[in-house]
Structure 1
Amino acid sequence: MDASATSHFGLGPKRGFESTKGADFGNDVPSSADEDHWSIPVGPAVQTDSDVESVDVIRFEELDGRAVFSAGEPPPSAAMTSAVLTSFGATRVASDATPADIATEVIRRQGLEDTFYVFDLSVVSRLYNGWRQVMPSVTPFYAVKCNPDRGMLAMLAALGTGFDCASAAEIDLVLSLGVPAERIIYAHPCKPMSHIRHAAKVGASLTTFDNESELHKLVHAHPGTQLLLRIRADDKLAQHSMGNKYGAEIQETAHLLKAAKALNLAVVGVSFHVGSGASSATAWADAIALARGVFDTGLALGHHMKLLDIGGGFAGGKFLADGSLNLAPVAASVEAALAQHFPPSQGAVRVIAEPGRFFGEQPGALALAINGTRTRETAEGTLRRDYFMSDGIYGSLNCILYDAAKPQARGLRNPLLPPPTPSAKADLCPSTLFGPTCDGADIVASDALLPQLRVGDFIFFAGLSAYSIAGACNFNGFDVAGAKTYYYCSQM
């Protein structure tokens, strides 16, 4: 691997494609002398960039085999994950500190009065380890579109994932972290020609297709590509279907495989996506059975079929009260289906997946500043409150419209304001939460039950980092897409 694969971790607090220095809780990492001023217990401070000379020479190697790790193997190098924490200024905190505790401390130390995220990079690590324990046959390729946060991408790269990219910009973002192109799948079946040429230029060779016109584009712009035929395999109970837009019908697959062969293009496998928010544990197993038939057709036509991509659609990763991972039922179904339809006796097949929400939902929490308040009496004589916040449906809360999200709001007191009166704490009232734009439809919630809050306090949403800021826009001139992120590490 050449020097271009070297990782440079001077990476930014902003999500997306920025490259500025990471945000920390304060101007300096707290020393033991001032730890008693924190409202949460704080562990050892992470080193600064200047303390770690190895940060700029970390290399993320190409993945080999069916999975990055097998159950029982040692975890990734602690030096790699530590370097990521160091590079992003992740503050170590006590394991029992909640995201709301962290956000309150950030407000106290920074004097914030605008939107920000707090992001626990150790959650990413724990979810990755949980994935490889319950589904060791499947290598995760994180769906960058879910949340292109650079800290999370760097942590996933250090852990050993690949990356599902859907545009030239996403490919460049991943490459900028030092990840080799071999760890990228360009998972978009209908790509712009300019993006195809860019993928060819940077060496991103693995991509998907589901129609013949895509083959003719690829043979001209990227003839050395390795192709996965995306098939339609919907979970009828999924929250959002993908099959209405992407995926070849099974009866179309033989023709497409023959067309690729005639153009001397290499089809190396099959991909599918059961739909976002799939609810059936057997949805992937049913799709794996369909993929086996397409594999056999490809092999009969002379294609070297060696890769299966089982797509995304996985729920946000969570550890349950008994310590088990919520992915376990789906994982068991997938592993059983792979053993049945793709046994080693029929040839080595590498299996990957494209989880986004699984990794992206839980690590991040969002705090919105209250810019205005209003109390009104209803016709029935009861009180209602309105809160005008620093972000709304055009920003991180776009997930309410496009992802059917139902975020749970809670009040977060600003520790720099005078303490609230006991009556204000107890005075719960139905409240409407408005975003900052002039659009009357910019409403995040209409009946949130909240205590009496003030201008300068915050509204807080935990577990809101999947398909949130990734879709934000700066409508009306509000820079909601540039919200800062403060990284921390609760446990590893």
Structure 2
Amino acid sequence: MLAIDSYPSYTKTSKPSSESTETTETETMSYQVPKDVVSKWSVEYVGSTPIEELIQKKIDESPEDAFYFVDLGRVVAKYKQWMENLPRAKPYYAIKCNPSTAVIKTLASFGVNFDCASQSEIQQILGCGVAPNRIIYANPCKMKSHIRYAKSMGVEMMTFDNKDELLKCAEVYPNAKLVLRIITDDSQSVCKFSTKFGAPLDVCEELIATAKDLGLNIVGISFHVGSGCMSVASFESAITNSARIFKMAENYGYKFNFLDLGGGWPGNDNESAIAFNDIAAAIRPLLDRLFPEDVKIIAEPGRYFVAESHTLAVNVFAKRAMDTGYGDRKFLYYVNDGVYQSFNCIFFDHNSPKALVFAPGDRTDLYRSTIFGPTCDSMDCIAKDILLPELEVGEWLYFKDMGAYTVAAASPFNGFQSCPTTYYIESDVL
């Protein structure tokens, strides 16, 4: 095992871009989990050790409890990928996706900023030592008390998408830096947000005129193409519409200098319809063509940073064999994490986690199998009628890519632990 001080570093050569000066100097950046995080969360450097080997070690130590491995090395690798492919767009991590303090501290150490949607989220980020000017309050519909709190803490940037929100801001926080969130075509996204948020394009001029009459400061435009976006065209269209509204605002004396590309960035290129690098390659020239260098561009990636970082291991603590009536059998398995805990992503994020059998051996016969969580609710079903070898009580299943919208919404329903024991590691994936 490598000592902390001998972690590998990544060296890159700066290239001229729309936000940097011409230079040939070599910038050295160390892409590793920060030492304070390593110390506080007992992050173990595991290099290229297979996750299955790590799981076996923990099974030997704890024979029944479910647990997570959180690979902060993958979080760092995703940051590196972002900076290499979309450096003009400053990432503001959407902590609603996964509010892990270890993840937040790791990203903050690289200069990543944060997208917060409530007073509590702002409190958490400020509590991590992040300055208020590194936060965007990206909820278009906010409670007055939350706006007052943001004002008291010096969080200036916030979004809106309707006239009543403007009136609220004029009353509570007239000096806020407001960002108009526009509606997008999210028909190609798994989770659509335009039914709830975003000003229709044909009312944007009225909102800008209202803000002007109220003496409010609109600084730019934001949008969100929806989570699990399947089309690069959705980003391209939203960017083009934003540029049109930039020009429209000039008629009212506004000089916008801020563009927020929102979320919708894929967390796993292997299973996504489009890859992050493909999105970045498509929109980079569009951003440079439509927006001058003095326009600050940000984005709000959530699952992009954390989806691949979490692996969950669950124990099969009960089993039922059933005769199908056709000469074969099917099995019902009960595991110690379910839809009220980590697998809430099935309902809330339209996810379909893939069950992997730990130590499958030479078992080639497959049976229709249903996996239930531990609660007494029959809706607590993780997977139905999937094919698995016959498992025995005490065996283990594991699920990769469980970092996005899992622990964030877990509950202790029925008295079961809301979040399994978590172990932090740093793999060598750079």
Report the TM-score, using the length of structure 2 for normalisation: 0.90
Equivalent in 54, 63, 81 of residue 102 of structure 1: 54
Determine the structure 1 residue equivalent to 2:256. Answer: 305
TM-fit CA distance, 1:281: 1.4
Aligned CA-pair RMSD: 2.4
Write the distance in 2 (CA, Å) between the matches of 1:433 and 1:253.
48
Counterpart of 1:161, as a letter, is: V
Determine the structure 2 residue equivalent to 1:342. Answer: 291
Determine the structure 2 residue equivalent to 1:478. Answer: 416
The answer for unaligned runs of 5 or more in structure 2 is 6-17
> Which secondary structure state, in structure 2, belongs to the residue aligned with residue 154 of structure 1?
helix
Counterpart of 1:398, as a letter, is: N
TM-fit CA distance, 1:150: 1.4
TM-fit CA distance, 1:229: 0.3
In the TM superposition, 1:409-448 aligns within 5 A as 409-412=355-358, 425-448=363-386
1:44 aligns with 2:2: yes
TM-fit CA distance, 1:453: 2.8
Equivalent in 420, 425, 429 of residue 488 of structure 1: 425
- Contact in 1 for aligned 2:157/2:178 (Cα 8 Å): yes
- Contact in 2 for aligned 1:317/1:359 (Cα 8 Å): no
> Which secondary structure state, in structure 1, belongs to the residue aligned with residue 34 of structure 2?
helix
Determine the structure 2 residue equivalent to 1:145. Answer: 96
Equivalent in 281, 288, 299 of residue 353 of structure 1: 299
TM-fit CA distance, 1:112: 4.7
1:248 aligns with 2:186: no
Identity %: 37
- Contact in 2 for aligned 1:66/1:351 (Cα 8 Å): no
TM-fit CA distance, 1:117: 1.0
- Contact in 2 for aligned 1:99/1:462 (Cα 8 Å): no
Listed one character per residue, the Cα deviations across residues 19-67 of structure 1 (whole Å, up to 9, x for unaligned) are xxxxxxxxxxxxxxxxxxxxxxxx13659xxxxxxxxxxxxxxxxx969
In the TM superposition, 1:447-466 aligns within 5 A as 447-466=385-404
Structure 1 runs of 4+ with >6 Å offset: 70-73
- Contact in 2 for aligned 1:430/1:448 (Cα 8 Å): yes
Counterpart of 2:209, as a letter, is: K
1:164 aligns with 2:115: yes
> Which secondary structure state, in structure 2, belongs to the residue aligned with residue 372 of structure 1?
strand
Listed one character per residue, the Cα deviations across residues 190-219 of structure 1 (whole Å, up to 9, x for unaligned) are 011111111111111111000111112112
TM-fit CA distance, 1:319: 7.6
Give the aligned length.
Answer: 413
Write the distance in 1 (CA, Å) between the matches of 2:3 and 2:44.
6
TM-fit CA distance, 1:107: 2.3
Counterpart of 2:286, as a letter, is: A
TM-fit CA distance, 1:73: 6.3
Determine the structure 2 residue equivalent to 1:83. Answer: 36
The answer for unaligned runs of 5 or more in structure 1 is 1-42, 48-64, 414-419
Determine the structure 2 residue equivalent to 1:121. Answer: 72
> Which secondary structure state, in structure 2, belongs to the residue aligned with residue 247 of structure 1?
coil
TM-fit CA distance, 1:296: 1.4
TM-fit CA distance, 1:261: 1.6
Write the distance in 1 (CA, Å) between the matches of 2:422 and 2:4.
17
Determine the structure 2 residue equivalent to 1:62. Answer: none
- Contact in 1 for aligned 2:32/2:76 (Cα 8 Å): no
TM-fit CA distance, 1:143: 0.9
Determine the structure 1 residue equivalent to 2:27. Answer: 74
Counterpart of 1:44, as a letter, is: L
TM-fit CA distance, 1:359: 0.8
Equivalent in 403, 406, 414 of residue 349 of structure 2: 403
Listed one character per residue, the Cα deviations across residues 435-463 of structure 1 (whole Å, up to 9, x for unaligned) are 11111121111123223333333221011
Write the distance in 1 (CA, Å) between the matches of 2:328 and 2:140.
54
Write the distance in 1 (CA, Å) between the matches of 2:56 and 2:25.
39
- Contact in 1 for aligned 2:338/2:382 (Cα 8 Å): yes
TM-fit CA distance, 1:316: 0.9
- Contact in 2 for aligned 1:362/1:464 (Cα 8 Å): yes
Report the TM-score, using the length of structure 1 for normalisation: 0.79
Deviates more, 1:268-277 or 1:468-477: 468-477
Equivalent in 147, 155, 161 of residue 196 of structure 1: 147
> Which secondary structure state, in structure 2, belongs to the residue aligned with residue 255 of structure 1?
helix
- Contact in 2 for aligned 1:66/1:139 (Cα 8 Å): no
> Which secondary structure state, in structure 2, belongs to the residue aligned with residue 313 of structure 1?
coil
Deviates more, 1:169-178 or 1:348-357: 169-178
Counterpart of 1:260, as a letter, is: A
Counterpart of 2:401, as a letter, is: G
- Contact in 1 for aligned 2:246/2:255 (Cα 8 Å): no
Counterpart of 1:163, as a letter, is: F
CA spacing shift, 1:190–1:409, aligned 2, 3 Å? same
